[in-house]
Amino acid sequence: MGEFDFWAVDGQSAADYLKHRYEIPKEMPRLPLADEPFVAAWEETVGQGVLDFLSDRFGLPVTDFSWKNIGSLKISFAAALGGKLPVVATESHLDFRTMEALLNGRKGPMELPPTVNAFTMQTKAKPIFHHRILLLNRAPYSNIPAEKIGLSEEVWLERSHRLRMRHECAHYETLRIFGNMKNHALDEILADALGQIAAFGSFDGDKQRIFFGLTRGEETCTGRLSFYCQEVEEKERPKIYKAVDEVLDAVAGELDGLLARKAEDIELLSALAGTSIAERLKRLESEG
């Protein structure tokens, strides 16, 4: 989940919403892109505790907050096509919310549902204003229990971390390479698809239905996909749920083909981002 510009406008129709896609450059820049300038400052963390680093290097008021598990806080780096990014990891939802408040210059944590455990942040605290970082909490992905995925809890937590990391990197890649990242069903499909590949080696439509809160063949949603449709006219949202459900297996087939010929990450990203959900539906109709 990121801090995005909303692409949808209030009362938007499903038909207009489903047209969203990215323009893919005819000539790609050299990838990965150069790191943004702020990254170098975060690399000075080596050998320091996370809170000591944030206090000593940036002057952030870490002692003004209550922390549940300081020893579990970690800083690492993610290598994305858009450049390297600092990753701040927590192992409790309270510390996750507290860290978000600290990095954004607020006095206390905001309430967040347990399903929210990641942010691609453009920080707002004055000493680190507009630094871009990934904030990740160790938790089951989409708050889905391990048994529903058929894994042990420990394995599912490890896979969730890999999925969440790649998901957030994908948003950063669309931002830097294609010019934006959105709170939109297409963006979530592409980010989760690349996340599933990182965690499981392939993309599975039925897993994605679980992550989104969809049931095959139905026009309802009980999970996080509804968040990305909230500015669409309410009576139009079931059309989006139905459309997403219908295209997921086609996306899986498309990615299977790309993976079979060992397509590079930028090919996967471009294929997912450059075709709208509406275009995929038309393709299915013509094939059917």
Q: For the chain, what are the domain ranges?
A: 1-22+180-288, 32-151
Q: Which of 141, 137, 121, 242 is nearest to 198 (CA)?
A: 141
Transcribe 93-147 into DSSP letters.
HHHHHHHHHHHTT-SSPPP--TT--EEEEE--SGGGTT-EEEEEE-S-GGG--HH
Measured CA to CA, the distance from residue 272 to residue 269 in angstroms comes to 5
- pLDDT confidence bin for 6, thresholds 50/70/90: very low
Write out the two tokens for 57. 């290097």
Instruction: Look at residue 107 in the predicted model and tell me its pLDDT.
Output: 94
pLDDT in tens, 176-219: 999 999 989 999 999 999 999 999 999 999 999 999 999 999 99
Instruction: Look at residue 2 in the predicted model and tell me its pLDDT.
Output: 52
In the predicted structure, residue 5 carries a pLDDT above the cut 60: no
Instruction: Look at residue 284 in the predicted model and tell me its pLDDT.
Output: 95
Measured CA to CA, the distance from residue 1 to residue 182 in angstroms comes to 10
Better-scored residue on pLDDT, 165 or 47:
165
pLDDT in tens, 45-91: 878 899 999 999 999 999 999 999 999 999 999 999 999 999 999 99
Instruction: Look at residue 148 in the predicted model and tell me its pLDDT.
Output: 96
